[in-house]
Structure 1
Amino acid sequence: MDGISKTELDRLEARELVKNAAPLRPRDAATLILLDRNGDDVLVLMGRRHMKHAFMPGKFVFPGGRTDPADSRIKVADELHPDEEIKLRAGTGGVSIARARAIALSAVRETYEEAGLLIGRQGTFQTTKADWQGFATHGVEPSLASLRFIARAITPPGRVRRFDTRFLSAWRSDVAVELPDGGPTNELEELVWLPLADAVEADIPAITKSVLGDLRQRLEVDPTLKPGGDVPFYRMFNQRFRRDIL
């Protein structure tokens, strides 16, 4: 998508366009690309969004959603790697340490809510936050140390929703508990583990295809996803969708 014009991108994402829409400020959001290995293949977890959703109905996506500022106050077993924290705080406008932490934790929370996967380590966890009670119930301390910042993308203007999304990744081995019936929100259906090559060909948003392409290239040279790697940043600038590196 790097260099594609606004007109071309609008044509690709026609279902998300809103005519004469008032300008919307992008809201912070996070999504988690959960990876697993099967022989020589790297698999990625994806789920189909319900058709009733206004934003990207029926598309295969990663677990994710809006960032709740209260997420920054959740206690964790292990904090973000310092190099990952620096990357999360970089870019247009920059964000505070607390905001970067909230963004990372929202990816962990949404992965539980939508896919029933609790990232962290087993142990005692207590909180008064309703959205995090699942971790307390299942005895999992959330952890951020394994998260890697993979990409950032700001939804172009004119869409029914606009997000400043950070794509993070973790490995299936970082999941402490997998609930057999999925997450409590049931926002995603048809949860599937797909080889990366197949995931790129699924019914996915255009930006997801670009991010998966970036991830495949990174894994070829950095199969363990070391901290502090290059992070592509996609956004509209001067009527063209551009790709910078954080």
Structure 2
Amino acid sequence: MSDTVPDTPVPPHPAATLILLRDGPEGLELLAIERHAGLRFAPGATVFPGGRLEAADHDPSWHDHWRRDRWPGADLSADLAHRVAAVRECVEECGVLLSRDPPEAAALAGLRAAMAAGEGFGPVLARAGLAPALERLVPLARWVTPVGLPRRFDTLFFLAPAPSGQEPLCDGGEAVGALWATPRRLLEEEEAGRRRLVYATRMTLLRLAGCADMAAAMACAKDGAAAGEELPPPILPCLVEAAAGPVWRIPAACGFLPLETSAEHVRLG
């Protein structure tokens, strides 16, 4: 299959990303993964765990988890399937499960092995007696891949406190490495040419770099989170011609800066 630009816009795939947070000796730290260099999308890039929504992420059984975690009769969230996908992808890619109760190491390993063998996330969780802590995720932003690219995603980015007692272990397929790092360290390593960041990841790091600790980051997300039953407004970068040359521009008041970035400094995949 060719990666040439399509004649008609490709519909973006719904996707979700989970940014796990913790407080480290230098302040806020994020869990990031390094993508396999052989992948067709964002090869070798440093990203956060995440991926496309699957049909099973919309299963009505997740409604019970949501209402049990919130309160009886609670309204369903429009981003419920995204929350399920974000937690599921984090398990698949780096073996970390955000659950209500801490899983034993053996149970977590068995869960991951069963998923790798093709079993569904919900059934293996139920068999292990585990429930995802879907209510702990807070939406930060919704990034949409620009029009004109052959692969497009409509991705909801979530923040959540990292579960204690779990160390990331990458699957070796999509993710080949994992690390905890401050946003500033990742940005500095990209500036030095030692790390590859796609645009949405870089913009997320720039926003979180101003947060001193996990509490500040979570507050930042809650301030911008959509209230009620709707998804956050999409952030769709557009390529425009500026006086100094082409730039990628994002909507004003979207919560991210800068609003314009030189096209030569932007990686989209």
Q: What TM-score results when the alignment is normalised by the length of structure 2?
A: 0.66
Matched residue type, 2:80: R
Q: Does the Cα contact within 8 Å between 1:72 and 1:99 map onto a contact in 2?
A: no
Select which of 166, 173, 187 maps to 1:178: 166
Instruction: Map 1:107-146; keep pairs closer than 5 Å.
Output: 107-122=86-101, 130-132=119-121, 133-136=123-126, 138-146=128-136
Q: Which residue of 2 aligns with 1:162?
A: 152
Shift of the alpha carbon at 1:161?
A: 1.0
Number of residues of Structure 1 aligned to a counterpart in Structure 2: 214
CA distance in 1, matches of 2:33, 2:21: 14
Shift of the alpha carbon at 1:146?
A: 1.1
Select which of 60, 65, 68 maps to 1:76: 65
Structure 2 unaligned segments of length 5 or more: list them. Answer: 104-117, 191-195, 226-232, 241-247, 256-269
CA distance in 1, matches of 2:128, 2:186: 30
What's the secondary structure of 2:4's corresponding residue? coil
Instruction: Map 1:1-246; keep pairs closer than 5 Å.
Output: 18-73=4-59, 74=62, 75-76=64-65, 97=76, 99-122=78-101, 130-132=119-121, 133-136=123-126, 138-173=128-163, 178=166, 181-183=169-171, 186-201=173-188, 202=190, 203-217=196-210, 223=216, 225-226=218-219, 228-230=222-224, 233-236=234-237, 239=240, 241-243=249-251, 244-245=253-254
Q: Does the Cα contact within 8 Å between 2:36 and 2:173 map onto a contact in 1?
A: no
CA distance in 1, matches of 2:93, 2:51: 9
What percentage of aligned pairs have identical amino acids?
Answer: 27
Q: Does the Cα contact within 8 Å between 1:31 and 1:64 map onto a contact in 2?
A: yes
Relative to structure 1, the CA distance from residue 190 to residue 23 in structure 2 (aligned partners, 3 Å threshold; closer, same or farther) is same
Q: What TM-score results when the alignment is normalised by the length of structure 1?
A: 0.72
Matched residue type, 2:218: L
What's the secondary structure of 2:222's corresponding residue? coil
Shift of the alpha carbon at 1:192?
A: 0.9
Q: Which residue of 2 aligns with 1:8?
A: none
What's the secondary structure of 2:134's corresponding residue? coil
Matched residue type, 2:16: A
Shift of the alpha carbon at 1:179?
A: 6.4
More strand by share: 1
What's the secondary structure of 1:217's corresponding residue? coil
What's the secondary structure of 2:98's corresponding residue? strand
Select the structure of larger CA radius of gyration.
2
CA distance in 1, matches of 2:15, 2:223: 20
CA distance in 2, matches of 1:105, 1:26: 19
CA distance in 2, matches of 1:196, 1:123: 27
Q: Does the Cα contact within 8 Å between 2:39 and 2:174 map onto a contact in 1?
A: no
Say which structure, 1 or 2, has more relative contact order (CA 8 Å, 6+ apart): 1
Relative to structure 1, the CA distance from residue 219 to residue 151 in structure 2 (aligned partners, 3 Å threshold; closer, same or farther) is farther
Shift of the alpha carbon at 1:104?
A: 1.2
CA distance in 1, matches of 2:68, 2:51: 21
What's the secondary structure of 1:186's corresponding residue? coil
Shift of the alpha carbon at 1:187?
A: 1.7
Relative to structure 1, the CA distance from residue 180 to residue 115 in structure 2 (aligned partners, 3 Å threshold; closer, same or farther) is closer
Matched residue type, 2:209: R
What's the secondary structure of 2:37's corresponding residue? coil
